[in-house]
Structure 1
Amino acid sequence: MRKRYGVMAAVVLLLIFGGLFYQRLKGEETEHKKSIRIGVTLYRGDDSFINTIRSNMEEQAKEYEKKTGIKVVMEVVDAKGNQNAQNSQVDRFISLGYDAICVNMVDRSMASNIISKAMDADLPVVFFNREPVEEDMRRWEKLYYVGENAKESAVLQGNILVEAYRKDPASLDLNGDGKVSYVLLEGENSHQDSLIRTEWSIQTLKDGAVPLEKITGGIANWDRSQASAWMEQWLKEYPDQIEVVICNNDDMALGAADALERSGIKRPVKIVGIDGTPQGLEGLRSGKIFGTVQCDNREYASVIFKIAAAGSLGQDVKKEVTLYQDKYYECSQKAVRAE
């Protein structure tokens, strides 16, 4: 009996010390890791906001290399709006042994397939800009999301117009009929930010006692040229009625401004966007658009990269970035006006 207990005790001690030795080896492996590989897949590389995030992430990678001495191999690929193409890109990252992946989903409702493959490969995933549904995000502890609070964006956008109306109602009610007549340019039908931005921009205007009248609206898929085409059509149909153009992002706001400029109409139609892209801010400075909501793009990219880098090294992400619910990060925003 004593001999049996002695053998059992020896086995237990062996397991304990073996586990400690393994953890020490893993710690040394992480500590001495000289390079990390991060794959980034974008829903569409020609989106101005996403392209700005990509550029800032590449800058973050360079700064990280200088600071830590750890080489960063970061491959960025464009899914061009095709979810099947994006799935294949993720498969490739996994097959090549990448340490982490950052995914700007084409279709947020289709994240489950990518998550399953990442779980099998024990690969951390940082989703950004397009948030997977909550059920998918709960599936695993190594899933993260970085984005903006869409309601906050919309309320800030709406308040730009509310403040303008309170200061001078005639600045929005151009024909003096007691109503502010607007058109609406929306992103995608299925994008959560588009739906929320639309709802709360209008609600903020109503809450601010701005007398609204909707003329029409259209889905422009965040795209400048599509927005321009819609606006050109509306200016022909309602040449003297449009007073305000509310847009879910800056690219669409600039598209509306392009059409207004081409039309030769000189009425001071107010156009507002969201994102604060470099192009949007330039449009603001030149007077093409009246206001936007600026996201801190550098903060946005920095957080995505920090999470991916920490996950690549097996570090505790929560020690590097303050997250809520251990998964989510919302970037700071501010309203920016032409003045």
Structure 2
Amino acid sequence: MRRILARLALASLMLTLCGCGTSPTPTIRVGVALYQQEDTFISTVAQSLQQRALEEEQARDVKINLSVADGRGSQTQQNEQVDRFLDQKYDVICVNIVDRTAAAVIIDKAQAAGVPVIFFNRQPVEEDLSRWDGAYYVGSPGAQAGELQGQIVLEAWQQDPAALDRSGDGVVQYVMLEGEAGHQDALLRTKYSVLALTEAGVPVEKLANDTADWQRGQAGIHMTQWLKEFGDQIEVVFANNDDMALGAIDACLAAELDPLPFVVGVDATPPALEAVEEGTLQGTVLNDAQGQAREMLDLACDLAEGTAPQVEGGHYVWLEYSAVTRKTLDAASAGAGNQSE
């Protein structure tokens, strides 16, 4: 019995000594507040964040707890979600803000709690972002997306003006589907898409425009009405994002319009890339969901670990857009990661 007790005591001592040399894996807690998870592009970003978190866990030898909340288009609800992240002492919060003019409230709360905040995809007002050194933005320049949209249409005009100018009047008649009133990207994409044509000397005429809140269904309703008013006078459809572009195509197909107008979107979502391959969507602009997720999570981990971030002007991480047509489809599919919704 004495031998047994001695062996048990020795085994217990060895386990204790072995345990003294180990430490728990550090954990980084990141709260992610989305404006609307049903948005196709935002859903893709959220998926990419989850994948990137798994990769960073291996690379940094940490545990990353990623908590995603859906604001469902309500700034009030999103504010409550941010409050919960702060109350639960998350290390970093990432915010795809519902109302870009409301960023100051979130920044002030984050500063008071000492928790860095990373806004993404929906850019806050510059004055708000500069309120605190711990506030950042990850996204792409909205003007560039509009310029590339316009370039896609311009190249089609230069290659075959008659194919685009179906009325033969020497003027490009277009309609514009805008994301939402006051949204920075919607304003810039709307302006610069048309400016790319006019600065190149292409005469244009706007037949109609309206906001569709980035949604496919709303865009389809607007397009159905415009087809009743203008019919085949509509030669080009500019849409601030792919979901609205696909909504316009839905309406044209339902109306059995042949040929379809020249439709262009933004985001290069998987459904949009399928439409480009089919030839119903003439072009889109790659909004790098994987790149945004990568840059955002890298920045969040650096901040949580106390590493000073290297960002433009102290606040900004910019990613470039790129144009996508059938000629560049393979490269765009690889860049978008071929993710499904």
TM-score between both structures, scaled by the size of structure 1? 0.88
Q: Which deviations, in whole Å up to 9, do the C-alpha atoms of 1:84-123 show, x marking residues without a partner?
A: 1000000100111110000000001011111111111100
**Aligned residue for 1:328?**
316
Matched, 1:87 2:75: no
Q: Kindly indicate whether the alpha-carbon contact (under 8 Å) linking 2:25 and 2:61 is maintained by their aligned counterparts in 1.
A: no
Give the share of equivalent positions with the same residue, in percent: 45
Worse overlay, 86-95 or 167-176: 167-176
CA contact (8 A) 2:172 2:203 kept: yes
- What does 1:293-308 correspond to in 2, within 5 Å? 293-308=285-300
- TM-superposed CA distance for 1:236, in Å, is 1.2
| Equivalent in 144, 156, 165 of residue 157 of structure 2 | 165
Displacement of 1:276 in angstroms is: 1.1
| Cα separation, 1, equivalents of 2:168 and 2:316 | 46
AA aligned opposite 1:219: T
- Quick check: 1:188 aligned with 2:176? no
Specify the SS of the correspondent of 1:210.
coil
Deviation larger for 81-90 or 277-286: 277-286
The answer to whether residue 46 in structure 2 is matched with residue 58 in structure 1 is no
| Corresponding residue for residue 19 of structure 1 | none
Q: How far, CA to CA, are the matches of 1:290 and 1:160 in structure 2?
A: 8
Does the 8 A contact of 2:130 with 2:315 survive in 1? no
The match for 1:259 is 251
Question: Match of 1:113?
Answer: 105
Tell me by how many angstroms 1:32 deviates.
7.8
Q: 2:194 aligns with which of 183, 202, 207?
A: 202
Amino acid at match of 2:235: E
CA contact under 8 A between 1:151 and 1:197: conserved in structure 2?
Answer: yes
The change in CA–CA distance for 1:33 and 1:99 in structure 2 (over 3 A counts) is farther
C-alpha distance in structure 1 between counterparts of 2:56 and 2:144, whole Å: 31
Moved segments of 4+, more than 4 Å: none
Any unmatched runs of 5+ in structure 2?
A: 1-22, 328-341
Instruction: Give the superposition deviation at 1:77.
Output: 0.6
CA contact (8 A) 1:123 1:142 kept: yes
Give CA-to-partner distance per residue, 1:288-327, whole Å, 9 cap, x none.
2100111222111100111111111222122xxxx21011
SS at match of 1:72: strand
2:220 — aligned with what? Answer: 228
Partner SS, residue 69 of structure 2: strand
- Confirm or deny: 8 A CA contact 2:35 2:70 kept in the other structure: yes
Rounded Cα–Cα distance in structure 2 between residues aligned with 1:296 and 1:41: 19
Mapping of residues 279-294 of structure 1, within 5 Å: 279-294=271-286
Match of 2:62 in 1: 70
Contact 2:252/2:260 (8 A) holds in 1: no
- The answer as to whether partners of 2:149 and 2:323 remain within 8 angstroms in 1 is yes
Which of residues 120, 133, 140 in structure 2 aligns to 1:141? Answer: 133
Letter in 1 for 2:177: L
Q: Equivalent of 1:277, from 269, 273, 285?
A: 269
Distance 1:139 1:306 in 2: 23
Which blocks of at least 5 consecutive residues in structure 1 are unaligned? 1-30
Which residue matches 2:116? 124
Q: 1:8 is matched with which residue?
A: none
Partner amino acid, structure 2, of 1:317: P
**One-letter amino acid of the counterpart of residue 172, structure 2:** V
The total of aligned residue pairs comes to 305
Shift of 1:73: 0.4
Q: Is residue 156–residue 164 contact of structure 2 (8 Å, CA) maintained in 1?
A: yes
Q: Which residue of 2 aligns with 1:13?
A: none
Do structure 1's residue 338 and structure 2's residue 302 form an aligned pair?
no
**C-alpha distance in structure 2 between counterparts of 1:163 and 1:208, whole Å:** 11
Letter in 1 for 2:222: W
User: Which SS does the other structure have where 1:80 is aligned?
Assistant: coil
Q: Is the 8 A contact 1:33 1:313 kept in 2?
A: no
